[in-house]
Amino acid sequence: MNEKTSNRGFTLTEIIVVIFILSIFASFVFPSFSLFTKKRTDQATKLASIIGFLNDTAINRKKTYSLTIDFDGKYVIWQTPDGDKSMSAPSLDRCITEEKGEIREGRVVLLFGPQGLNSIFKAYFKDSDSSIGIDYNPYTRRVRIESR
């Protein structure tokens, strides 16, 4: 019995190569749908890092540093031992401080003294459908990022 079986079909290697080529093609063809969310998240993460940095630097160096948030120009300026730095924050929607409450326009100046920032601070970054908030707790001296 000499039966000849036909081996029609694709090998595993051929299937993997085709899937690889299609995935590369798809990554170029389809736009990034999370582009705006990523920008908003990056801005919130950077501001949270800046707050943590200023808090730690002020405590360690026993100096006062400031963080200025300008809602009209949508940017943030902060002092460092190396000089002033800034970042654009187009998704910045509002912030809340213990002293002034909710702020959506004008400027807010936070002072980080030798004991760090001594008041609760919250900031919200918003796009068309959702927002991300950062929350500074002066008792634990931690900054949290939370999606809403």
> What residue spans define the domains of the chain?
35-147
Residue pair 81/61 in contact (Cβ under 8 Å)? The answer is yes
The reported pTM is 0.73
- Show pLDDT as tens, one digit a residue, over the chain (148 residues): 556 666 678 899 999 999 999 988 887 776 655 555 567 788 889 999 999 999 999 999 999 999 999 999 999 999 999 999 999 999 899 999 988 999 999 999 999 999 999 999 999 998 777 789 999 999 999 999 988 6
Joined tokens for residue 61: 């160096």
* pLDDT value at residue 129: 73
CATH of domain 35-147: 3.55.40.10
